[in-house]
Amino acid sequence: MKAKIGIGIIIIAFLVCLNPYLLIFGVPLFLIGIITLLLSDKKLKTKLIWILTPIILWYPSMYLYFYLMGTIGTATAQKLDLIFPENFKGKAIVVSDMPCGEEIEIIDNREQLRIPENGILLYKGNLKSGYINNRYFKIDNNGNKTEIPFRANHMFWEDSENKPDESEVGIWLSGGGTKYNPNGRINYSFREYVISSKDSLAKWSEFKRSRELEKITDSLVAICKN
């Protein structure tokens, strides 16, 4: 009986430890399973197999777990196409759940978010959290789309393969969240994006520039809600 309990605890601990953020819980559980198994009447060889196998398989299994979770998560995530004016550069904000916002348009199972010239889109749809499945485009006056390459800081680390040119323009996820004001007129959830080259990225986060865009967004939200 002790052997079955110990093996069961080891299996549960192994599954918990596939998420490294849960190691603080999984490792003590694993140790409890080992102790329980060692106190059983199982043969030493069997005990060693059950103890060493999870340790050996943990890292490749963790890697496979994250790969599968990322693949499945991206495939099932909300699918968004963000479409920017041809010459747009700088920060854009998408505000969700706006009663007077842009209507939800779905093409090929992807929501179409058309960013206006001022970079502030009030959108009737809900931007879901979790994995991201976004595409980004610029559109010219004739309706021709050009995809904007995605950028992130890790792409520019010294040991990164195929490091992009720092002067090449791409799109960056700048953040998001919820703004709350006690008067209830400018409460909203948002996401921010920046179209910029790496060497010009910092200027779009300057306090004065960001504060001005925030004021305009607050004003548009207040008008929309009233």
Residue type, 163: K
What integer pLDDT is reported at residue 182 of this predicted model? 67
C-alpha 26/C-alpha 42 separation (Å) is 23
Structure tokens at 172: 């960056």
Cβ pair 127, 94 in contact under 8 A:
yes
pLDDT at 131: 86
Beta strands in 56-201 (DSSP E): 79-85, 90-95, 106-107, 110-114, 120-122, 133-139, 145-147, 150-151, 169-179, 188-197
Give the whole-angstrom CA distance, residue 37 versus residue 47. 7
pLDDT digits (tens, 9 = 90+) for 8-33: 999 999 999 999 889 999 999 999 99
pLDDT tens track for 135-183: 999 999 898 999 999 998 888 887 777 888 889 999 999 888 888 776 6
Chain-centroid distance of CA 141 in Å reads: 32
User: What mean pLDDT do residues 101-114 have?
Assistant: 94
Q: Locate tokens 């990322």: which residue?
A: 70
State phi, psi for 218 to the nearest 5 degrees: -60, -45
- For 172-225, write each residue's pLDDT tens digit: 998 888 887 766 567 889 999 999 999 999 898 888 888 999 999 999 998 888
Distance of CA 209 to the CA centre of its chain: 25
Beta bridge partners of 79: 133
Q: Is residue 210 classed exposed, middle or buried when 0-12, 13-18 and 19+ CB atoms within 10 A define those classes?
A: middle
**What CA–CA distances, in Å, run from 47 to 1, 10, 16, 59, 60?**
14, 11, 20, 21, 22
- Tens of pLDDT, residues 28-87: 999 999 999 998 888 889 999 999 999 999 999 999 998 888 888 888 899 999 999 999
pLDDT at position 180: 79
3-state class (DSSP) for residue 196: strand
Tell me the whole-structure pTM to 2 decimals: 0.77
Domain regions of the chain by residue span: 2-75, 79-225
- Report which DSSP code applies to 202: G
Q: What pLDDT, on the 0 to 100 scale, is given for residue 71?
A: 85
Q: What local confidence, expressed as pLDDT, does residue 183 receive?
A: 65
**What does the pLDDT read at residue 225?**
81
The C-alpha angle 150, 91, 199, rounded to 5 degrees, equals: 60
